[in-house]
Chains A and B, each alone.
Chain A
């Protein structure tokens, strides 16, 4: 492709894949008058004048304010031309305009020199002022979208031969059907400079091998292009089995990237991995014995089906939902976040999970809920998310994030700079929730939730105009006299809604793979693209095709070869952390870790005022009420926000100290019947080692390990303490605290 060089104001015709443009402006057209919106505003954008650190700050900078990234051209025109007449813009002596002198740094400017007097940017501004600094009405064509051409480059491939750089074109589409190459006005970023850098002209340079994205921003739009840099080494794809469509798609990508997947993991590994992921518990000695004794071909399939049918599977998902729906309590308030209500909500969620209610139905019931938080527990959505006073904006943001993974909050104050959402989208979405009313019931812990169909919609921040309810990136339903949440629930959970189906699928995928295809799973935006778009699309499609039956999707994932890969990497995939070429080592969540210790030691944890016998995975309001030090130290979700990252998995010194010295493990070793029973049955040291290893690690010790342990118990073969010490070591091991 020819390198683009263009005069700022020339329009180009381009063969863009979409619908052909209505009018085509030839390149050689005589210069047009400079347009404020089409030519001047983009200069402020490109030069950074209206960025948030400068005049785009909420209160401007050094007395001059521009709208952030130019979301309010009319206001910007007013401030430039009317606010201090003759100062910023001097039409009698254009070159004396403060705007120009500041921009080139010829007078003191906190922002320094933004561009040079001989730059096209300067000329654009000067010509505009010379022409009398005219406004152009709102009828000038609006940018309706941008694209990067090409949107995928594979360096090192046959097409690109030995090229090390490639120019991309940023093509803006306008509402009048024209297109324009805006490379000189766009801003560029790369997600990984090491693999692909992009310069201020939109030229991509290849670096070390890898797969990343570069982005261009123009007007309110951001778009990305995938850049793959192939390794130079020869590559031969091994012969591998494809269990299902997941493997086909993942393998295609790996072939492209010259990455060889790891081997399939062994039976012991698979049993432990699948049992922990599906039920939040380690396999019991009985489950271990049965699985290892089973010689049938399809024993992994049978295992997955058995685990999927367990109530513990439902418990895991009930807790995961409870975390992002912020189920926590604060007794004695007027906001409905009482324990009784929280328990009703959690219990309802768990019931839905146990019955395997399709996720679309589950979500609809909550979104469109009305009634008592006790009798219609789904209505707790509107008490637990706010955790206090009801604010339709905060609830709308939370709901967008929980059910689509998108974070629209930036657009409250300005158009989202790195995503598609504008203030219009934001306030129109908020309008679905402006009618929600709440009232404390006769019983003070109970709250009634309903919708007032006559409530006014949200008002736009800029001009206070009412913004009727409109789906995110979609239509405005007719909700006159109706509860708009019903229409929203239908639209959101429809089978065609890729935002919903892909986000739910991605959350499920992320649970089993330790990483979402979009990661984090609740930060979906154009500038955070999926690591394998085709896979995400296919999983979303399948989920909808399964009528939103999560279990069917989980089954596909767990039976794929991709899920069953070993965590041991090879030379080609050791640096891969996004293409699922090997299993990811994942530290167990705090609740799973504690339940695993309890299961291995056959003890129970007492969670304060919770009923006895509950597992950590069943605490309906998390650790708040139990005040359990172990759970807190190992990073259980605080449920303070809808972010999945409230669940923390990184190791700390406090964790190591607590496992080494703390009362949790020490108490459990003391109370555990396991070693005592084994000794009572006169088991020999190696039998006891086997039993403890199976309980903790889901495997038998190696010969070498057994050798080392025998030395440690020599002379103390019947001393419980000696075996407690080995049990301690197993429960303190990295292998125990990681799913691998």
Chain B
């Protein structure tokens, strides 16, 4: 019998709106269809099966991850992979800036990052599969294409599951949230992101509800907890501890720890950050006068990582998101400088604190954009090749990996799949993504299927 390594099905289907609400994910799962999993059923591969609640892994070189996410599919041409030699309709409206690496240029809005390009790696040859927001976002966060049969956990949830909390800090934090596609999948919802909401650029920013009210005393709080224990004990005996209740229990335990740890709570504020720090991360205002949140978000992300959070997802939408079907120039010119300053500041700050070697910083988006500028001065969806950034945590420095064709349309050299990209991050954290986690129904599922870490990205 011949061997069919049938590749997953994708739907090149309708364009999903460019905003990301807490959109249901089942829909994308259906669009994804089920033919994707022939490999699943025909293949048996050796691999360690890890209990989803089992012993904690030893850490790898990287201890934590800051993932910056550009929802909408940011253009590779206007960021990390400009094509200044291409005809104007491909090149686009923006110029370039020389980087610290000889012969390498970034798009003109990334001048501060260009100056620290020797500390980061850019993968210009990421190859995705689906130019559809919901499905590609799921792919980027979980390493899998959506399936109607099972939901996969996102990277932050896997990290939370494999390493657990440190220093009373929740292992996985969303700033201000994570996309609906970044769920816990088949893992318990207790491995979900702690979404801070709120905007740290606002003067009165406080993470809600992590501190006891001033009027509450320790004695009373203890009494409340004891009373709650009494009720819980009664219910748990009756209900024989089904899984539904475990996550709830776990969140109460986490909450109590957080509330009782002043150090942990302090990490959720920007108290004590100096003017020098503010300068390092930059301060930019939107056209409407409101501050961009990215600099404060990245500063907060650094504090969280320093305090023991293992995975921070930071969402950054600029002024209008990155699904720039129209007016790409305006979107880039408005939104990128604040990111550029904050990102370069974060890398520098982590380096100065000696944290860069143990912290991976990822800059990700669900796909790139079409080689040619369209009729409305924008670019449309393009999953075939796009750029992502990796820095720190033992990743190479000053490495521009992969080469795209003259119009950034195809990967000419060293293509890196989304699976490979995630596998590289997992590898640095000490997670072998060929290991499998046990999903309900005793179904062992690869952490990432078919991904191999990229040796050339590891320094």
Q: A residues engaging B (CB < 8 A)?
A: 46-48, 51-54, 56-59, 68-69, 111-116, 119, 121, 187-195, 197-201, 208, 210, 215, 217, 393, 407, 409-410, 412-414, 417-418, 520, 523, 525, 527-528, 567-569, 574, 585, 587, 629, 635, 638, 640-641, 643-646, 648, 650-658, 660-662, 666, 697, 702, 704-705, 708-709, 712, 721-722, 725-726, 728-730, 732-735, 737-738, 740
Contact = CB atoms under 8 A, between A and B. Distances in A.
A567 B6 CA distance: 43
A650 B247 contact: yes
Contacts of B6: 47-48, 51, 187
Interface string B2-35: 1111111111111000000111111100110111
A217 B35 contact: yes
Contact of B245 (A68, A585, A640): A585
A528 B1 CA distance: 29
A722 B449 CA distance: 55
B210 A641 contact: no
Interface centre among A111, A650, A697, A722 (most CB of B within 10 A): A650
Given A194-B443, A413-B11, A641 B255 contact: no
B157 to A, nearest CB: 12
A59 B409 CA distance: 13
Interface in B19-59: 21-27, 30-31, 33-35, 37-38, 40-42
A641 B34 contact: no
Given A111-B7, A114-B4, A417-B33, A705 B231 contact: yes
A43 to B, nearest CB: 11
A645 B14 CA distance: 20
B272 interface: no
A657 B210 contact: yes
Contact of B223 (A197, A655, A666, A725): A725
Given A53-B129, A640-B22, A654-B209, A661 B259 contact: yes
Contacts of B249: 734
A52 B34 contact: no
Contacts of A121: 2
B244 A47 contact: no
A585 B213 contact: no
B231 A410 contact: no
Contact of A725 (B31, B170, B220, B234): B220
B208 A410 contact: no
A652 B254 CA distance: 10
A651 B442 contact: no
B244 A657 contact: no
Contacts of A191: 149
Nearest to A188: B41
Contacts of A640: 21-23
Contact of A418 (B34, B233, B240): B34
B12 A58 contact: yes
Contacts of B234: 702, 704-705, 735
Interface centre among B1, B212, B249 (most CB of A within 10 A): B1
A728 B190 CA distance: 23
Contacts of A734: 232, 235, 245, 248-249
Size bracket of the B interface: 35 or more
A589 to B, nearest CB: 15
B239 A708 contact: no
A640 B189 CA distance: 23
Contacts of B14: 393, 409, 412-413
Given A52-B9, A52-B130, A653-B194, 13 more contacts: A48-B38, A413-B12, A418-B33, A527-B34, A640-B21, A645-B26, A653-B170, A654-B194, A657-B259, A729-B225, A735-B231, A735-B234, A738-B244
Interface string B240-267: 1010110111011011101100000000
Nearest to A49: B6
A702 B236 CA distance: 13
B259 A528 contact: no
Contact of A653 (B21, B245, B255): B255
A213 B255 CA distance: 41
A388 to B, nearest CB: 10
Given A51-B6, A525-B30, A661 B12 contact: no
B95 interface: no
Contacts of B224: 725, 728-729, 732
A507 to B, nearest CB: 15
A655 to B, nearest CB: 7
B34 A661 contact: no
B208 A629 contact: yes
A413 B197 CA distance: 37
A187 to B, nearest CB: 6
Contacts of A655: 251
B8 A52 contact: yes
Contacts of A114: 2, 4-5
Contact of A54 (B7, B37, B194, B213): B7
B276 interface: no
A722 to B, nearest CB: 7
B228 A729 contact: yes
B7 A661 contact: no
B435 interface: no
A167 B99 CA distance: 63
A210 to B, nearest CB: 8
Contact of B208 (A112, A208, A658): A658
Contacts of A199: 41-42
A721 B194 CA distance: 31
Nearest to B236: A734
Given A115-B4, A192-B441, A641 B228 contact: no
Closest 4 CB pairs of A and B: A58-B12, A48-B6, A729-B227, A52-B10
A49 to B, nearest CB: 9
Given A48-B38, A111-B7, A412-B14, A638 B22 contact: yes
A47 B33 contact: no
Contact of B7 (A48, A567, A725): A48
24 contacts: A48-B7, A51-B10, A52-B9, A114-B4, A193-B443, A195-B441, A210-B441, A217-B35, A409-B14, A414-B13, A525-B30, A640-B22, A643-B24, A648-B22, A653-B251, A656-B252, A656-B255, A702-B234, A705-B234, A726-B227, A732-B228, A733-B235, A734-B249, A737-B248
B1 A200 contact: yes
Contacts of A635: 22
Given A704-B234, A729-B228, A733-B228, A657 B33 contact: no
B278 interface: no
A187 B255 contact: no
A438 B184 CA distance: 42
A660 B13 CA distance: 45
Nearest to B6: A48
A211 to B, nearest CB: 12
A294 B449 CA distance: 60
A426 to B, nearest CB: 11
A34 B184 CA distance: 49
Nearest to B39: A48
B41 A193 contact: yes
Contact of A585 (B211, B244, B258): B244
Nearest to A697: B231
A200 B42 contact: yes
B258 A657 contact: yes
B144 to A, nearest CB: 13
Interface in B274-307: none
Given A409-B31, A657-B208, A725-B220, A652 B441 contact: no
Contacts of B12: 52, 57-59, 68, 413
Nearest to A729: B227
A597 to B, nearest CB: 15
Contacts of A662: 208-209
B4 A412 contact: no
Nearest to B253: A656
Contacts of B190: 651
Contact of B41 (A198, A629, A644): A198
A651 B7 CA distance: 35
